[in-house]
Amino acid sequence: MTVHSEVINDQKEDLTILFAGDICPMGNIERSCTENNYNMIDPEFRDYFGEKDIFIANLEAPLTKSENKIIKSGPSLKADPCGIKVINDCGIDIVNLANNHIMDYGKTGLIDSINLLNNNNISHHGAGDTINKASAPLRVKENGIRISFFAFCEDSFNIATVDQPGCAPINEKEIIRLLQSEKSHADLTIVSLHAGSEYYPLPSPRLKELCKNLIHYGASAIICHHTHIVSSYEIYNTVPIFYGLGNFLFDTDSSKKSYIGAVVKIAFSQNKAVNFEMQSFKFDKTIPSLYELDAKEKDDFSKRVNQLCEITRNNDLLNMIWILYTSEKYKYYYAPNLRRFRSSLFLSKEKKNKTLLHFLKNESHAEIIMEGLMQQVYGRPEISAEVRAIYKDLMISDVTFLTKLKRIVKFFV
């Protein structure tokens, strides 16, 4: 089943942790749970999920019946509390709550989710009543090993404060302080980061540098999510970094009927990662069902991941790809939307202001806008035809004629 594996250290395996990407039990998944017909995991995968000590995934939506969604930029997600059935069915032990949707239905949505998880003996971290609770580590002892789990998220009207609930922010100085103070309590420290640009298959130079810096201060493994597609990975100072595992069990109203994701199983010794294996899968949202890729799909998946990892290791190439991406994204998405939200007659002042503020506060949005503006003011460096060809091969652009026409219409409404 495994499509990627790597030995990191030649030591005895004492603990295995299985990591999955985003869970959003909406749509057909929710319907299956409501009808008690949620046995959507292939038996072979079910056995694989059981071969671990700890299973952790990202819960991308509150499990609540609340109808009071907050005013924000982007879609508001939630799932019926019956969605807890698929989390239990997979054998997931821990869910990360530090993401850009867990606060979509405010404090009620968060508290409903936390209470539901507690009642089902599923641990959680990354969000809470206050910033101190959200940032606190989840401490687990397994096979005699002390593991501390941290989870942090980029800013998206979801960040906790000293007296308001929400998620733990990605504040590098504060994360470093937490990692250093946790050394006496943990043999292993696992960091989850909800960060990156959606559907961009590589880390930004900023995210790559952040992850490496956190390793210097004690992270034993770093798992990123948010991009909804499988990204690259790298081993830095014998510590694995996975920049994106894609969706796990995720169904929203989308034209895509299926997607390919990955789970990663990392084996640890008493104090460091020993090896890992990456397993790909396809999730068919119409059934819904999760199943193994066929031989050609596995080969294509493996080649793509190898290509992404090669680019990630090459800083110059990674930077050039990033420049091409930010140039296109700024031109066809951010610039039109910034104009639209300032001039639209059909959006409330609060919606306009919050959208503009979101673009400036959110780290991934802000860095694209900044890079795009820098290119507008100072010009763009020369980029070879070879690099352009690599970029074109990597990206599936939505910038069609119809897309451009829709954005022109949106500008006026």
Neighbours of 384 (CB within 10 A): 9
**pLDDT tens-digit map of 193-242:** 999 999 999 999 999 999 999 999 999 999 999 999 999 999 999 999 99
Distance CA 117, CA 97 (A): 11
pLDDT at residue 408, as a whole number: 46
Q: Which two tokens stand for residue 1?
A: 């089943």
pLDDT value for 39: 74
The pLDDT, as a whole number, for residue 254 is 66
For residue 59, what are the β-bridge partners? 23
| Residues in CB range of 405: below 8 A, 6 or more apart | none
pLDDT value of position 199: 93
| Residues pairing with 190 in the sheet | 149, 221
At which residue do the structure tokens 């530090």 appear? 98
Residue 42 pLDDT: 80
Query: What residues of the chain score a pLDDT lower than 50?
Result: 397-413
pLDDT of residue 354: 80
Q: How high is the pLDDT of residue 253?
A: 61
Digit-coded pLDDT (tens) for 47-102: 889 999 999 999 999 999 999 999 887 889 999 999 999 999 999 999 999 999 99
pLDDT for res 400: 43
List of domains in the chain: 4-313 (3.60.21.10), 317-412 (no CATH)
pLDDT of residue 345: 64
Is the CB of residue 47 less than 8 Å from the CB of residue 290?
no
* pLDDT cut 90: percent of the chain above it: 77
pLDDT of residue 344: 67
- Separation CA 180–CA 57 (nearest Å): 25
- In angstroms, rounded to a whole number, what is the distance separating the alpha carbons of residues 109 and 107? 5
